[in-house]
Amino acid sequence: MMALVGIMGPSADGDASRSVVWACCAGLLLTAGVYHWVPATLLDRAGGFIGLAVVGVTVLCTLAVSAGGTSTRAQAFLVFVVLYAGFHLRTAGALLVTSQTVVAGGIMLFTSDAVESALTDFVFFGSMLGVTGVLLARSSNSHERLVGALKRQADVDALTGLVTRRVLDRALSSALARTGPQEGTALLLMDVDEFKSINDVHGHLAGDDALVHLSRIVKLQTRSSDAVVSRMGGDEVAVLLRSCSRETAVRRAEHLLDAVRGEPLVLPDGTLYGLSISVGVAHADTRTDDLRTLYAAADEALYAAKRGGRGRVEAAFA
């Protein structure tokens, strides 16, 4: 758009000369190159995106005032700034840039026109910019809320409130990468014994209650500072223990086993049901990025506990 204005040349007294327009084009190309090569996260932390809009409005206003007035072209470029802010900035930033654009438009109008004429144009032009900016900011805010809700759905299990396998995998990868010779990473994999019979005899709602009950107990018995509790799917719950020795991992698994035994599940009809779990423990004491091996070891230990009579802890070491 700027290049098109440079080719066409000034159309009114308030328009910048061709040389100024082409200089602005060169500046935009240079800025685009910088923004292309610099990481977006770094630009965001440095305020680069909102700064681009603020500088753009300032340059447009300065050029218009120095030329002794304004024109439809200059006002159109202010609209582009508002559109950029609405689509690319957070709500607060978009509203800030929109406010600056309205002020800049007022300065441009009152510099070139009589007060009465400028006031009429400013009310119309300022209202248009303000409404456009607010609508775009609201749309962007709704989009951010939707993305946040979708992310929470992907990260948190709706029934139990535990994190999902996706989150556990990230935490486990990070823990395994930091595992040193003096410590280790443990994975506890557990499920409810005779879970199918709970569903068949007492109904699927009772099965859901059993999962919520187990999740609550496990969360109460672990610390978020050194553990991540996740629902793997079905009736399986996993616990990642960071900086944990083999012996400590087995001891904490047995403690979870006793905690579940000591707190019966209240069924929908008010009766108490003694819940039982089997736990498989896997441990890695060296730095690795092989999640599959640790998961396989925990799964093997869990099935060993099942074969051994359920309601017990078995350990395997990856």
User: Smallest Cα–Cα separation from 105: which of 123, 126, 76, 130?
Assistant: 126
| Predicted pLDDT at 78 | 80
For residues 111 and 60, the answer to whether their CB atoms sit within 8 Å is no
Task: Using the predicted structure, report yes or no on whether residue 34 has a pLDDT greater than 70.
Answer: yes
Rounded Cα gap, residues 163 and 238, in angstroms: 10
Least confident of 36-40, 64-68, 120-124, 210-214: 64-68
Lowest mean pLDDT among 19-33, 43-57, 60-74, 122-136: 60-74
Q: Mean pLDDT check: name the lowest of 4-13, 99-108, 160-169, 191-200.
A: 4-13
pLDDT score, position 253: 94
Q: Is the pLDDT of residue 274 over 80?
A: yes
Q: Is the pLDDT of residue 302 over 90?
A: yes
CA dist., res. 192 & res. 188, Å (int):
13
Tell whether the model's pLDDT for residue 230 goes beyond 80.
Answer: yes
CATH of domain 165-317: 3.30.70.270
- For the segment 210-220, the average pLDDT, to the nearest whole number, is 94
Quick one: which of 253, 236, 263 has its CA closest to 314? 253
Residue 191 has pLDDT above 70, yes or no: yes
- Spatial distance between the Cα atoms of 2 and 108, rounded to a whole number of angstroms: 19
Q: If residue 310 lies in a helix (H) or strand (E), which one and from where to where? A: none
- Sequence-ordered list of residues with C-beta below 8 angstroms from that of 314, at least 6 positions apart, any chain: 278, 279, 280, 281, 301, 302, 304, 305, 308
Would you say residue 3 has pLDDT above 70?
no
Rounded Cα gap, residues 151 and 258, in angstroms: 35
Q: Does position 16 have pLDDT exceeding 70, yes or no? A: no
Tokens 């969360």 found at: 219
Single-letter code of the amino acid located at 250: V
Helix (H, G, I), strand (E, B) or coil at 235: coil
The domain locations on the chain are 2-155, 165-317
> Which is more confidently placed, 265 or 225?
265
Higher pLDDT, 248 or 179: 248
Residue 174: per-residue pLDDT: 87
Are 269 and 201 contacting, i.e. CB atoms less than 8 angstroms apart? no
* Banded pLDDT at 62 (limits 50, 70, 90): confident
Band of the pLDDT at 6, cuts 50, 70, 90?
very low
The answer to pTM > 0.85 is: no
Q: 301 versus 224: which is more confidently predicted?
A: 301
Of the ranges 63-67, 195-199, 212-216, 232-236, the best mean pLDDT one: 212-216
What value does the mean pLDDT take over residues 245-250?
A: 90
Q: Which residues are designated catalytic? A: 235
Among 5-19, 147-161, 230-244, 283-297, the range of highest mean pLDDT: 230-244
Check: CB of residue 159 under 8 Å from CB of residue 258. no
Alpha helices (H) along the chain: 2-8, 18-37, 40-45, 48-66, 72-88, 91-112, 115-155, 165-178, 195-202, 204-220, 246-261, 291-307
Highest mean pLDDT: which range of 67-81, 122-136, 265-279: 265-279
pLDDT digits (tens, 9 = 90+) for 100-158: 888 888 887 777 666 666 777 777 777 877 887 777 777 777 767 766 665 666 688 88
Q: Is a pLDDT exceeding 90 seen at residue 56?
A: no
CA dist 239 → 70, 197, 217, 281, 294 (Å): 66, 25, 12, 9, 12
pLDDT of residue 126: 77
Report whether pLDDT(24) > 60: yes
What gap in Å lies between CA 245 and CA 119, rounded to an integer? 75
